[in-house]
Structure 1
Amino acid sequence: MVARGGAAAARELKGCCGFALCEGEAVLRKLGFNENWIKLVMSCVSSVTYSVLLNGKPGGKVIPTRGLRQGDPISPYLFILCAEGLSSLLNYADQKGEIMGVAVAKGGQVLNKEKSSLFFSSNTEETEKKMILFEAGGVVCGSYEKYLGLPAMVGRSKYKTFRGVKEKVWKKIKSWKNSFLSLAGKEVLIKAVLQAIPSYTMGVFKLPISLCKELNSLYSKFWWGHKENSKKIHWWSWERLGVQKARGGMGFRDVECFNAAMLAKQGWRMIKNSSSLVAQVYRDKYFKNSEFLKAKLGINPSYIWRSVLSARDLLKEGLQWRVGNGNNIGIWGEKWLPTPISKCVQSPMKRFWEDMKVNKLIVPSTNSWDEDLIRGLFKPEEAEVIVRIPLSRRGSSNVRYWGYTKYGNGGASSGQNPLCPICGRDEETVIHILWSCPSSVDVWAKPSSPVHKCATEEVDFLELWSKLMNRLQKGEMEWVATIMHRIWLRRNKVVFENQFYNPSKLLQMAGEGLEDYKLAQISQEGSATTVDTADYNVMQKKWKKPGVFKVKANWDAALDMEAKRMGMGIVIRDEEGEVLVSVCDVRNHVDHPAIAESWALWKALEICNKLALSRVTFEGDAVVVINGINREVEDQSCMGHITEDIKQVFKAKRDWNIRFVPKDGNKVAHMLAKYVLELGEEKI
């Protein structure tokens, strides 16, 4: 009843008022979009016009008074925003108790015979059919009757069952066959409309390969401008057009691959939401005494189960173990190592260790790795990888996570996210390529580089650039810009020519490039031209005192990438700004900035807990860590158990809170973290 009521309200919103100007602008502003973005979107809505094709020629313009309507390429995205607003209003009304249940009948719900139909198996006797029809008053449906837009029964010919999807795509393309669409317009229509048509069906069923190829062919023909009586040359294959834009393609989806990704998503939901109704039904029928990843096809399985099971291998490729207590993770054969390729242990298997679990490598009393045992069992390089894996301080259970997303939660599009072509681990962004990628970190860690990267993981390139502008001289900034340029060129070399430069060679080439640039700036009169830089007057955020009867704990971390060692600095002050305690300590086997910042925060939590401080504000400059802690959704990434441990501490300590502060307001903790790297031991 609630679902149908919400659907009716959504249909009313969609059909009657479209994306109305006043409502749409209010929704965008309420969701926190930037004002410039809101103006751009609303200009698209307010400037829309329509024209009707008569005999292939457009007629006069029609200017709608209520904004966009169904059929516009941008309409699906804006409708999602309106639906989000509707959902929020319904939830708000429900919390206030304004939504009440509706009594359908005294004796329970009554079957709506006008909207019901019956389907009989071929084994049903004619007398039984007649009796049921007489009692129910329903209408017998055919073999391919649809329910909720999907076929209720799938026959032997899968192509005939699902060819309606192709017909829908073809009808849509025929209505667009004119010469008024630019390539940019075609791209939007393919991605937002055409490729969205089969998505609903592909989320449940595996489409025949021949049908997938025909859909790709339709998309390709539309892209290259085929007409009924003429054909155009396909200068690029559809596979090449499907390559990500960052790598020279257009980013179009391959139907077969996306179908497999969506079915793998269903398997992922069965694993993560095992208490859901669909997971319980399929578990009781197909893998009652097992788990989804080990389930068998079974006897006389449904086509939906066959479809989901066909994508299980794809799911297995991306699934990894996050080690908690290690009880149910096999040492050999399981994916639990953060290595770039195999994720499995490659060291020779030791005798009597064939069936051992990872918990045998952990010291239970301290929840830490048994380094002596590990270095005796595995190769040196593999042992080093193992001891760097962070373990939960609370001994949390092991969790499977999706290794191709930031927070470990799988998605149908996560298999197609543009990953960094060098490390192959994180999403390829500007800040990642130029700053956060391990290959870039190695460059910045060299003694000859103008900056030595600290533990803070930057998330915005412009913010990073502003910080550097405030700290470095003009000559150093020129050196930084040249190095970044060379890092980008190295990335292109890897992608297009499969060549990689080591940090020393990259810095050498950057130095030569900077000298060439300076020589080129010398004018014919012999005087060097100077370029005025913009005035970056970034507000300096100084440390501020906490409130009355409160203390403030600032924490930071510094990372030595070459030694795989981190330093942590904590300083705790009272309401007058007087230092209560300051601590600096080191930790070995750490090579990730976010992990280093998390361990520094955990150290600060331990100190405040030992001092029995009741009202504490924790301040740090690690945006990624703080955002992860403040997220309500569980962090299922490789370091998510540390984040979840910290969340539990804050839940238990109601008067403790955490917030971000720029590095200028966290200088003391940062200096302590760098100092202890040179000192090498804990100081209080």
Structure 2
Amino acid sequence: MDPSQENLSTEAALQLEINEWLEREEVKWRQKSRELWLKEGDRNSKFFHLSTLVRRRKNYITEIQLVSGRWIHSRDDIADYFTLKFSNVFHSSLPQIPSDMEGLLESKVSDSENALLSRVPDADKVKKVVWEMNSHKAPGPDGLPAQVAFVPDRWIAENVVLAQEVVHTFHNMKRKKGSVGFKLDFKKAYDSLEWDFILAVMRAVGFDQKVVDLIHQCISTVQFTLLLNGTKSSSFTPARGLRQGDPLSPYLFIMCADVLARLINREVARGSIKGVKLGLGAAAISKLFYADDVLLFCGAKISEVDVLMNCIDKYCLWSGQSISIEKSGIFVSKGVHRNFIAHVKNQWGFRQLSQGVKYLGVPLFLSRNKSKDFAYVKEKLEARANGWKSKSLSWMGRATLIKAVAQSSPLYTMSTCKLPKKLCNDMDGVLRKFWWSPKKSGNKCYSPMAWKELCQPLSVGGLGFRSFESFNEAMIAKLAWWVLSGAKVLVARGACKLVGSGDSILVWSDPWVPGLSNFKPLPKASLEEIPCLDVSQLMNHAKSDWNLGILNSLFDKDTIQAIQNIPKWNINQMDKWIWVKSSNGEFSVKSVFKEQESCPPKSLFAARALWMGIIGIRTDYFQLASASDLVEVVVFPNVEVVDDLLNSDIFTLKGTLILDLLWKTRNSKVYDERPVEIGGIMNSFKSLWSDHSSILKVPGSISHISLGAEGWTRPNCGVIKINCDAAVGSLFSSIAVVARDWRGKLVFTLSKKVNTIIPLQAEAEAILWAGQLSVSHGFSNVIIESDCKACVDVVNALGNCPWLIQSVMVAVVDVLSDLIFWKLCWVRRSANRAPHVFANGLSFIYLGVH
């Protein structure tokens, strides 16, 4: 074709139209497939087609066999069959519920809480909720997603660990009478809960009638329509039950299940049920509840079992629920007579549980062969990775599947159980084969790069995958953090006590100095006798600072420096455990895994850094090459540029796209002897840039970035503006403040030394000093500016407070509250240059300008 301007314009217009139709086709099949784990922007129409076909075949019902043995084939007959079945499930049993609930529940909801709950939300809140809904999960004939959150700050692993401890106690129990456990399964737990029971429980705990009526309308004004083979059947109205997926349902269910717990507690208080003790002096455990998963324990006596069963029968009579005998069962401890087991089986129809039974998705009974016990984890992983529709995924799709689905599915089991090393290695092998050769059968595959290398972070040449063994240890460390005892192999690397009053911290045995390798100080070599001290005895009389005389007599210089770098404490605050590997002091599995897999940066050759370009990894994975000298020179040049430009996704994105295109063009020239066409390269770049920029939602040109430097601005009339900054040295830091009035006139400039070499602490100290100077100088209207966004966000309640500066930030808020008007603002370095220069160049000099 003649490359005239007219033809080029026509080609561009046609290409644009084709891209638009392709995008529409992709969106249609994405929505039909309902594969929400795949990243937005990953174009994989074949995968979406297969997912849609598999889902339709799985959900398609061609015939039903009735109890009599007769088969029905007509779609209308099948629809009527299911409609009748579900109508019976949601038919009320008209329970007899005592109005006072036998005094089991007490009123806990205050008048102010009732007023808040009954308040009508404004339009903005309604809009926010609607806008936060998943675009492919709106309520309608397809229903709501089945998985919802339960109760904040609850961890399902707690119940799993306690259940396993009870089973362990059963195995080692030496009592003659022994104990018995019941694993209960409720039939249609959500669907059979009576509305009258829900409302009665709400009234008993103190909810106002207006709130009760609102909840009643929410759960009763519903109609169900069955979606059978892609067609809606006739609708029906339920008379009881909670909708699966409704955000209200878990809370209402747990509130009602508490009635069963209180029935059991009442009998425990009366001494009718003994429960199980895990050790001498331990509290007796009579129940473990997690939503509708229930474990109950009592002594192996007919009388105790009778009382327990009476509690269950009463709860079922009130709530409308019933026990599924087929799915429930018992397990007993050592020493329980077989006559007792036979009596329980015959009286209530329970079976005796054995190997293979799971509680909350984890094996309840573990044998000596752990690989066999947890083989189901590997089987699920293989089924997901070897599924025929997964074989159609691109490199990017496979990477997403590995990270978002495959490596996440075993995490729940790994959070409570230490999987065998061989099993972890086998699971790594499953994903390694899926990554390199998803379409080949057998266990062997060619791996150009070791799986261990792929599990390294992106910054050092890996893809950020997870080693199952390392992540299992990280998850177990979370459990160790929870109990802070027992297996502390990983926890000891990051668990440290934050000094408050110092009364509960022993100097030599407790970890309390974050700057030392094991957080524990060692005595001076010349110290003949080691005194028994707590940390409070190392402070001065006012507990405002350390007693340097005592420190010099006990520790060497390095230890003293580490102690002086401890964040300022609040003497009114209790000593507490913190996790030093995370900024806010809270434990996180991610920080443990990062510590496990940490390795020094590598020097990568350009060819090794760019190897992913051959197999089509997109930009967000292509950035693993940034450690290469070649790529770093191009993408992250070592030149002075505006921060906005260097740090922007646009700059990095364009650089990596150009590198990718140059590499592929070079390969086409060398191996395929294709001529290099600059116009073709530019068109390819424009197309790639359009795709990637739309995914990242960035503007189409760098011209959108503002390159102008921000400068200092005057405050309003009558307001003093104080700028503060810190300069960190090798042994100490200096902080500086510069105060100016609304006319821009200098009020004062000051600087001083602080005993820390941590930038965040130094910046926090500068803000605190600025506030203290405002009060001491008698200012009433003050604006304080800092270029430390982390500190500013903490004071303005926009971010979590790092543990390093918790006490300082509390002091900042206390000091500023004494002012009539105050404001703490974050500014760029360019608007905070005066204290920055002063802190760096004039440390320890008091200029005395007033």
What are the residue-to-residue correspondences of 1:118-133 with 2, within 5 Å?
A: 118-121=329-332, 123-129=335-341, 131-133=343-345
1:351-410 per-residue CA deviation (whole Å, 9 max, x = no partner) reads 343422332322141511223432343323333333233322555333332222222222
> Are 2:441 and 1:228 equivalent residues in the alignment?
yes
Correspondence for 1:642 among 793, 808, 818? 808
> Are 2:474 and 1:261 equivalent residues in the alignment?
yes
> Are 2:533 and 1:365 equivalent residues in the alignment?
no
The percent identity for this pair of structures is 21
Letter in 2 for 1:555: N
SS in structure 1 at match of 2:726: strand
Alignment partner, residue 113 of structure 1: 323
Correspondence for 1:339 among 512, 515, 525? 515
Letter in 2 for 1:559: A
Alignment partner, residue 462 of structure 1: 643
SS in structure 1 at match of 2:489: helix
Contiguous gaps of at least 5 residues in structure 1: 1-16, 26-39, 60-65, 70-78, 88-93, 271-291, 294-308, 423-429, 435-448, 452-459, 468-532
With the length of structure 2 as denominator, give the TM-score of the two structures.
0.49
What are the residue-to-residue correspondences of 1:443-592 with 2, within 5 Å?
A: 462-463=643-644, 537-538=707-708, 540-546=710-716, 551-559=719-727, 561-562=729-730, 564-571=732-739, 573=741, 577=743, 582=748, 584-592=750-758
- Residues 228 and 267 of structure 1: CA distance in aligned 2, closer, same or farther (over 3 Å): same
Output the CA distance in 2 between the equivalents of 1:420 and 1:229: 33
1:285-317 per-residue CA deviation (whole Å, 9 max, x = no partner) reads xxxxxxx33xxxxxxxxxxxxxxx44x211111
Alignment partner, residue 595 of structure 1: 761
SS in structure 2 at match of 1:368: coil
SS in structure 2 at match of 1:159: helix
> Are 2:336 and 1:155 equivalent residues in the alignment?
no
Correspondence for 1:659 among 812, 825, 829? 825
SS in structure 1 at match of 2:542: coil
Correspondence for 1:316 among 492, 495, 505? 492
State which drifts further: 189-198 or 664-673.
664-673
- Residues 372 and 465 of structure 1: CA distance in aligned 2, closer, same or farther (over 3 Å): farther
- Residues 623 and 554 of structure 1: CA distance in aligned 2, closer, same or farther (over 3 Å): same
Output the CA distance in 1 between the equivalents of 2:369 and 2:820: 61
Output the CA distance in 2 between the equivalents of 1:229 and 1:156: 29
> Are 2:453 and 1:240 equivalent residues in the alignment?
yes
Output the CA distance in 1 between the equivalents of 2:215 and 2:814: 34
Alignment partner, residue 382 of structure 1: 559
1:585-607 per-residue CA deviation (whole Å, 9 max, x = no partner) reads 30242322221211111112223
Shift of 1:664: 4.4
Letter in 2 for 1:170: E
Output the CA distance in 2 between the equivalents of 1:166 and 1:653: 62
Output the CA distance in 2 between the equivalents of 1:145 and 1:230: 30
Output the CA distance in 1 between the equivalents of 2:35 and 2:643: 30
Cα RMSD of the aligned pairs, angstroms, is 5.0
- Contact 1:557/1:568, CA 8 A, preserved across alignment: yes
What are the residue-to-residue correspondences of 1:423-438 with 2, within 5 Å?
A: none
- Residues 262 and 193 of structure 1: CA distance in aligned 2, closer, same or farther (over 3 Å): same
- Contact 2:501/2:574, CA 8 A, preserved across alignment: yes
Correspondence for 1:392 among 554, 559, 569? 569
1:63-98 per-residue CA deviation (whole Å, 9 max, x = no partner) reads xxx9779xxxxxxxxx99x979x99xxxxxx99955
- Contact 1:540/1:664, CA 8 A, preserved across alignment: yes
Shift of 1:615: 5.6
- Residues 230 and 329 of structure 1: CA distance in aligned 2, closer, same or farther (over 3 Å): closer
- Contact 1:566/1:590, CA 8 A, preserved across alignment: no
SS in structure 2 at match of 1:52: helix
SS in structure 1 at match of 2:501: coil
Output the CA distance in 2 between the equivalents of 1:156 and 1:316: 29
Shift of 1:258: 0.8
Output the CA distance in 1 between the equivalents of 2:532 and 2:421: 40
What are the residue-to-residue correspondences of 1:63-78 with 2, within 5 Å?
A: none
Q: Which has the larger radius of gyration?
A: 2
Output the CA distance in 2 between the equivalents of 1:542 and 1:260: 50
Shift of 1:626: 1.2
- Residues 631 and 208 of structure 1: CA distance in aligned 2, closer, same or farther (over 3 Å): farther
Letter in 2 for 1:231: K
- Contact 1:408/1:636, CA 8 A, preserved across alignment: yes
Shift of 1:198: 0.9
- Contact 1:585/1:683, CA 8 A, preserved across alignment: no
Output the CA distance in 2 between the equivalents of 1:639 and 1:327: 20
Alignment partner, residue 428 of structure 2: 216
SS in structure 1 at match of 2:474: helix
Correspondence for 1:356 among 533, 538, 543? 533
- Contact 2:725/2:763, CA 8 A, preserved across alignment: yes
- Contact 1:330/1:356, CA 8 A, preserved across alignment: yes
1:570-622 per-residue CA deviation (whole Å, 9 max, x = no partner) reads 4264xx55879535130242322221211111112223344666664433221
Output the CA distance in 2 between the equivalents of 1:219 and 1:535: 41
